[in-house]
Amino acid sequence: MVKQMNIKKYENIEIPMRDKVILRADLYRPEGEEPLPAILLRLPYGKDRFDGEGAGIYDPYYYAEQGYNVIIQDCRGFYHSDGEPDPSGLNDPEDGYDTIEWIAAQPFCDGNIGTFGLSFFGYVQLAAAVKQPPHLKCICPFECSSTRPPFVNGNGSYAPYHLTWLYNAAEDQVRRLPVPEEEKKRIWNEIEKNRPTHMDQVIKIHPWTEMPALNIEGFHFFDEYMESVDGTNDRAYWRRIGYPLEPKDMPYPVFLATGWNDHVRNQEMENYRLFQESQASDPDPEKLRLVIGPWAHGESMSNVVGTIDYGKETAGAEMGLMGMMLRFFDRWLKNDTKAMKDDAPVVYCTLNRKGWKTAPSWPVPGVDYQNWYFTCSDSARSSSGSGKLAPAVGSVSGSGMPAPADSPLSAVYQGTAEEDTILHDPLNPVPSELPGIFKMNGDFSSIQEREDVLVYTSDPAADEMELTGPVEAEVWFSCDAEDGDLYVRLSDVGPEGEAVRITSGELRLRFLKSMLEAEYVPEGTAGQYRIPMGDISYLLPAGHRLRIDIAGSSFPYADANLGTKEPLGRGKTVRTALLHILHDAEHPSFVKLPVIH
């Protein structure tokens, strides 16, 4: 965005919080004294990054040129703002409320305020909105969760890469330490010494409290890691930091966005469903908007994700996302009732298919949900095994298409093995990503060659096949340890054998009923378990195959289950476990696919 001469920037404006702590922000606005609506963005990554190319869809000059005040603020304890940092977001409900009401009282603001941002600065919008500041009129929380802390996965496991987040934020925190420069240098050298091995330490050192990566003398910023670990399944901790954030407590128009390759896509789609429910009594379609691109996590909204280019037209800037956000703000901050008349409630792309689609809601109408069953003649261990993914209740030979609905289920399993078994070793977990390749959509075929991974692959599709909607698996499963996990991934297998991830889901036995209350399944007890795998819109090309792979771990997406009842991160005992996947006529295991005809 070319900076126009009529936009003025006011740096490091001091905004007092209720406890007298000063937070600092930059203000961008057109020249002149006219009161204007305001758009607020709060973040822990440094407000200065938004005065340049790194701003992406949040370029403050773009919105200021359209007649808005744009305020970008450093969160408490980060960069230019005073106070103690809390990566859990403990202070952000009150800090967000105080900032919004302070802005509303300034002569440059007309009293109408909206918020925008993604990830952590998506969450801070929700945190403030729950407090219902009187002058807040609309929110745009992209790529974030309202139901659980960002380091808690959908099965109640912990996301160890939160330690990487803390390491990435450490430089600013070391700079702020009230100690001599020589001491800062010592601390920084110790951090750099542990940086290359901090994830290996998570695997090999138990309990985690003994990891050198967490024990940097004189530096307490990393203490938050074990605080969050201990709070992962602690209802009191969740309440203290404000989770879950209930959409019913946020009576505002909401614009949501995520990407099919965003690692918190499922959480944002969950937000959409919850806002749908909360607005059911007042179903104004302009009050809830959803955009889903091919994007990864971050403000660039690029069409290139890792190794795949989805086409220039799918980039956020090219498809007009900034214009959509502007029209949303014009509608709710300037009361322009015609601003959004041509915008659809849901806009999404289908991966591998050009163009954009619109829908009145999500899931889209006309989905045919089909069960595709796991079978094998001998063993499904690794992609070299005999695991098969059979569509519907049988298949038309060689076509990869569903057989008639009256085919008996027993026909699927005729002459097949009744179960598959794999070993889960917490000290050698199955990777969730590949070195040097974007973790969400690289070629996972090398991981599927492991003997501790079960692989079920369909016949090649005779025609292209579109999957649009929620995916879920139902798996008969038992574990011979005190606790166990399942990670299920759906992939597109190309003619050369490359396996590109489509979507995935997970289960932890102790948290089947609630990720806040453990209930243990007796060792060796088989049960049928539903595993949500998120939403997708994906075109499987003709000649490609669908593949399900199943493992007992997915690191560093999630901690490797130690197989005991010891508390997360505090366990000293490491136990291997045999995982049994049942698949016969009495115990059918399958994935339910949303097929569009």
Q: Determine the Cα–Cα distance for residues 219 and 88; give it in Å rounded to an integer.
A: 18
Residue 437 in this model has a pLDDT that exceeds 70? no
Instruction: Enumerate residues 6+ apart whose C-beta is below 8 A from 221.
Output: 85, 166, 169, 170, 173
Average pLDDT over residues 565-580: 97
pLDDT at 439: 59
Specify the CATH class of 7-147+246-291 in words: alpha beta
Each residue's pLDDT tens digit, 385-415: 999 998 864 433 333 444 444 445 667 777 7
Residues of the chain with CATH 3.40.50.1820: 7-147+246-291
Residues of the chain with CATH 2.60.120.260: 368-596
Q: Determine the Cα–Cα distance for residues 370 and 363; give it in Å rounded to an integer.
A: 15
Each residue's pLDDT tens digit, 332-384: 999 999 999 999 999 999 999 999 999 999 999 999 999 999 999 999 999 99
CB 299 within 8 A of CB 60: no
pLDDT at 125: 96
pLDDT at 408: 56
CB 308 within 8 A of CB 251: no
Q: Determine the Cα–Cα distance for residues 169 and 152; give it in Å rounded to an integer.
A: 19
Each residue's pLDDT tens digit, 439-476: 567 789 999 999 999 999 999 999 999 999 999 999 99
Q: Determine the Cα–Cα distance for residues 308 and 352; give it in Å rounded to an integer.
A: 10
Burial class of 484 by CB neighbour count within 10 A (0 to 12, 13 to 18, 19+) = buried
Q: What is the DSSP letter of 78?
A: S
pLDDT at 392: 61
CB atoms within 10 A of CB 519: 10
Provide the token pair at 179: 């100690």
Q: Determine the Cα–Cα distance for residues 420 and 552; give it in Å rounded to an integer.
A: 13
3-state secondary structure of 351: strand
Higher-confidence residue of 193 and 391: namely 193
Structural fold of domain 368-596: Jelly Rolls (2.60.120)
Quickly list DSSP for 96-145.
Answer: HHHHHHHHHTSTTEEEEEEEEEETHHHHHHHHHHHT--TTEEEEEEES--
Tally of helices (H runs) and strands (E runs) in the chain = 12, 23
Residue 2 in this model has a pLDDT that exceeds 70? no
Q: How confident is the model at residue 23 (pLDDT cuts 50, 70, 90)?
A: very high
Residue 46 in this model has a pLDDT that exceeds 90? yes
Average pLDDT over residues 105-113: 98
Q: Determine the Cα–Cα distance for residues 476 and 523; give it in Å rounded to an integer.
A: 14
Average pLDDT over residues 122-135: 96
Q: What number of residues does the chain have?
A: 597
